[in-house]
Structure 1
Amino acid sequence: MRRADRAQDRDFCLSVIDRCTHGVAALTTGEDTPYCLPLSFVRVGNSLYFHCAREGRKVELLKRCPRICITFVAQDDPNFEAPNNYTTYFQSAIVTGTVVLVEDDQEKVDGLRALCQKLTPQYMTEGLFNAAIQHSLSVTSVWRVDMDDLSGKAKKKR
């Protein structure tokens, strides 16, 4: 990292991930073309979980190459610092890791429960969540990202 004074520690990175409702995942197509897409993530320990349909371009790419890089931005505050200086105050984290398709139904449910608890806690009564699981589990794939590396960066107001 060029600006070592802006580098942040692991706890900062985990905090950024936990505060974000989504991250932008970068995958490789194998054709020297990147493929990036926003996804909703939840962190459970040293792993991230996301869900998607059971087929599609993303699934094909993940099966071909399970390496992933995800960018999270928890703060993005463009500003003007006098005199004559435009800047942005920010907090971000980048994760690299390996993606694993979750096959175990209990781990799938646990991952989805954690994701729903993070994003929609007001709808987490057992009846609502269980009905959604009954309706969607068989057509939903859940993926786990085992995090290999974290880096964080921030520019704070002076």
Structure 2
Amino acid sequence: MRRSKQEITDSTEIQNIISRARTARLGINREGAPYVLPMNFGFADNTFYFHCADSGLKLDLLQADPRVCIEIDESSELQTGEVSNPCKWGVNYRSVIAIGTAEILTDIDLKRTALKIIISQFAGNNAPEMPEASIKATTVFRVKSENLTAKHSS
């Protein structure tokens, strides 16, 4: 990281950024060009979990090249400093970037666990069980973080 003073190394702080997020941006390779999608997700044990339909462009691209980049951020207030000079303005933020390889889950128990993790990102541990038919009909994939970095600007 170029600005090492902005790097967040505390794993608890990184986990807090991820746990507060509701959307992750998933970067996929689309024939040599980036393709970025906002997605709901879950996170546990250094692994991101996502779900999608059982067909479509996203799944086709992941099957062709499973290497992905994930971005999560949280922004706060605009810092205007010198109000008359916008070049001196900034925004306080914290962000997480993860690099990994997407793996489509086929085992029903792994899918069930992954979907619980995704649901708990929104509902905590109070979410009802998913019907078995819904689990079977949902495509689920995970991305184990091979490289996870975080930074802040304040």
CA distance in 1, matches of 2:21, 2:135: 24
Match of 1:145 among 131, 143, 146: 143
| Residue in 1 that maps onto 2:25 | 24
Gaps of 5+ in 1: none
Q: How far does residue 145 in structure 1 lie from its aligned partner after superposition?
A: 0.6
TM, length-normalised to structure 2: 0.88
TM-score by length of 1: 0.86
User: What's the CA shift for 1:123?
Assistant: 5.9
* 132-141 or 65-74: bigger deviation: 132-141
Contact 1:23–1:71 at 8 Å: present in 2 too? yes
Task: Verify the 8 A CA contact 2:48 2:145 in the aligned structure 1.
Answer: yes
Structure 2 spans left out of the alignment, 5+ residues: none
Cα deviation, residue 38, structure 1: 0.5
Task: Go from structure 1 to structure 2 and tell me whether the alpha carbon gap of 1:122 and 1:18 turns closer, same or farther (over 3 Å shift).
Answer: closer
Closer/same/farther in 2, CA of residues 110 and 51 from structure 1, 3 Å limit: same
Q: Report deviation, 1:46.
A: 1.7
Aligned twin of 1:4: 4
1:99 corresponds, among 102, 108, 130, to 102
The percentage of aligned residue pairs carrying the same residue is 27
What is the Cα-based RMSD across aligned positions, in Å?
A: 1.8
Q: What residue is the counterpart of 1:78 in the other structure? A: 78
| Equivalent AA in structure 2 for residue 97 of structure 1 | G
**Aligned pairs, number:** 150
Contact 2:43 2:121 in 1 (8 A): no
- Distance in 2 (CA, whole Å) between partners of 1:122 and 1:71 is 24
Once the two structures are TM-superposed, the CA of residue 135 in structure 1 deviates from its matched residue by 4.2
SS of the aligned residue for 1:8 comes to coil
Give the superposition deviation at 1:78.
2.0
